Structure 1
């Protein structure tokens, strides 16, 4: 794989009207020390979005900085460690943040809409589809949806973790052509360019797993933000799997988005992650990335079996998962929750655990433990009833290989 090459020959969306998701981080919105809003940056972001809309494109803005804006509003110097305090600060900041966006877009009579999400909002299929339909309707109406995580009620179990991940999931929901991750550097480097003068820029990436082995990304993000280059790689992985071309670019120059999507050779430096040619269908995408992972089911390979053989028995190759293939259950999940499927493979005394899929179970952890060594016909004997023939049906399973 060639990582460091010119971006001219990669496949790109060529439609005249594109759907773009633009994620703006806290460092592009608030000063890290004073927490004052960077109105110059915000104005340039708004002007760029308006120019994109004038060219016929549909735009979703994913924004951070609710906590940073709340700190400024409350005259606090730093983010507290107590969860309830952070949630309260986010509640104060979210209203102020939306007010700034509404004022800026309002100068040009551009309507905006606030969308606050948690992962729990997308865990139910009907709620997920409602969110998708709402976003689509707003775009059809010419509104700019402004998406943020609902930090006022989010806890670790239902958080996306960071807005990079949220932006990737949003891009998958609206079937975006591009996801732009705007940050405080112009592109991804093989190492931190501030401390390593030999760090090289990565212009194009077609294989994120291979890229991870060739670069060093350890930065946790700013004092106010939760992301960094690590989370941007995760987001790029999620988005490209949904067929979305993902770009890392400098947040202080959002106008660079225009030449990038126009394939202008004079476009500033950026990193482009090429979308997968065969993206996941909507339901499989929802299972993998919309549902909270409540537990783990382990399938152990037999002697002489490869990981691929174990994956085939797990059902991740297109078949359903049956009880006789399960060797271990972890977690205290219930029926209709999502679990990861892991293949345990031992070779020359070395044991590897490889996640191969994620699926929605028909039975609880306790029920699976009771029946996992029984044959299909023994489920009734084991439980006294049978809700389904298999542990996970193939229609409710999405591969992650």
Structure 2
């Protein structure tokens, strides 16, 4: 991965939302925005950048084609509308890119597709191969088969996961405002733009992101913060900017060049989330963000400290497990939590602190039987030993810091 200050040969993911593609009321495509996107992608490619487009609007396009006024509430109906719209949406992209003889490819994903390691790697290989063939991948969620349990939730998250998969340098989240504000600028005249963010978690406490997406879309500004958190953890610089001003993408990339002396007033308004200096390794990033969480393991404070303390980074052993929730099999991903007691006034509360996530060597039923036992006792309890630990440190992603554990 190149440093974003280098302005040639970058890998760039551009996510365009429904509000940038379809008119919210008429559902007609906004051709000026789509044409601007195509021209920007071609400009980037002429500068030797590799570009992936993550698109929304299958449902919006389907509503127009079927002459339906509002998005259906019934899941099967929404899936059917999306099935109609996805073909029309790809036809639009193919026609517009086809004017410049630029081939495109449709890539439809669900979270379930990426939960299996081999399928995840196959998806990565396919995207890499398309880019090497000078094709522009057009990525969307496979709405026709997605259910609540296997959805990414919105295409901001899908875009972040796609960016992480291909180790992108930039992720651009195109929205209906120029940047992230401290509050909704449409209703609060005192709302201030947020231009740079180094810590997404800290930023969430300082801004108001309660407004949702459009009538056709599924996201809002909160989903973009979540996406920025996912992408920056993978080492991807993330930018929020206006969806109708795609020509700003090139200017924003140029403004990040260390040798460029542009003043802030010359740079288009945008919010930049800086990539983490020590991005998560691919396998652990996949465990944390690509896998469905099948259950929860509760551990004691001693085990939590052993797992998260630098220099120890221990595997998780049965002796430190105090409870199991949910039903799961071996090699599924589970959340690891520490249940702490907090006191507010005369009231006592139990608070779950997320320690991490990992792939288990035993099922929930097996862990229930061996919890709080030493590794040497496992064979006598179960009659066999899969491993001496419940989660090996190489399959464990830590999200808590040592100071968070009391």
TM-score by length of 2: 0.92
Aligned partners of 1:249 and 1:270 also within 8 Å: yes
In structure 2, what is the Cα distance between the partners aligned to 1:201 and 1:356? 33
The CA deviation at 1:164 is 0.2
| Superposition map of 1:75-86 within 5 A | 75-86=67-78
In structure 2, what is the Cα distance between the partners aligned to 1:278 and 1:314? 16
Name the structure 1 match of 2:403.
none
Name the structure 1 match of 2:267.
267
Aligned partners of 1:61 and 1:144 also within 8 Å: yes
The structure 1 residue matched to 2:234, chosen from 231, 236, 242, is 242
In structure 2, what is the Cα distance between the partners aligned to 1:68 and 1:295? 35
The CA deviation at 1:386 is 1.2
1:346 aligns to 2:345 (yes or no): no
Aligned partners of 1:299 and 1:314 also within 8 Å: no
In structure 2, what is the Cα distance between the partners aligned to 1:15 and 1:104? 26
In structure 1, what is the Cα distance between the partners aligned to 2:380 and 2:133? 56
1:227 aligns to 2:219 (yes or no): yes
Name the structure 2 match of 1:191.
183
Deviations 1:332-368 (A, max 9, x none): 1111110011122224444321112110011111110
Name the structure 2 match of 1:150.
142
1:169 aligns to 2:161 (yes or no): yes
Name the structure 2 match of 1:5.
none
SS at match of 2:297: strand
SS at match of 1:196: coil
Aligned partners of 2:15 and 2:174 also within 8 Å: yes
In structure 1, what is the Cα distance between the partners aligned to 2:300 and 2:145? 39
Name the structure 2 match of 1:134.
126
In structure 2, what is the Cα distance between the partners aligned to 1:311 and 1:61? 42
Deviations 1:150-204 (A, max 9, x none): 0000001111000000000000001000000000000000000111111100000
The structure 2 residue matched to 1:61, chosen from 48, 53, 67, is 53
Unmatched segments (≥5 aa) in structure 2:
256-261, 401-406
TM-score by length of 1: 0.93
In structure 2, what is the Cα distance between the partners aligned to 1:311 and 1:269? 43
Name the structure 2 match of 1:320.
315
Aligned partners of 1:29 and 1:38 also within 8 Å: yes
| Superposition map of 1:350-361 within 5 A | 350-361=349-360
SS at match of 2:244: coil
Name the structure 2 match of 1:295.
295
Change in CA separation of 1:41 and 1:151 when aligned onto 2, cut-off 3 Å: same
The structure 1 residue matched to 2:324, chosen from 329, 342, 363, is 329
Name the structure 1 match of 2:384.
385
Aligned partners of 2:331 and 2:362 also within 8 Å: yes
Name the structure 1 match of 2:281.
281
Unmatched segments (≥5 aa) in structure 1:
1-10, 303-308
In structure 1, what is the Cα distance between the partners aligned to 2:300 and 2:342? 12
Name the structure 2 match of 1:17.
9
The structure 2 residue matched to 1:48, chosen from 30, 40, 44, is 40
SS at match of 1:234: helix
In structure 2, what is the Cα distance between the partners aligned to 1:209 and 1:120? 27
Name the structure 2 match of 1:105.
97
The worse-fitting range, judged by mean Cα deviation, of 234-243 and 367-376 is 367-376
Name the structure 1 match of 2:243.
251
Aligned partners of 1:119 and 1:160 also within 8 Å: yes
Count of residue pairs the alignment pairs up: 385
Change in CA separation of 1:211 and 1:71 when aligned onto 2, cut-off 3 Å: same
The CA deviation at 1:311 is 4.1
Aligned partners of 1:315 and 1:321 also within 8 Å: no
Backbone CA RMSD of aligned residues: 1.4
The CA deviation at 1:267 is 2.2
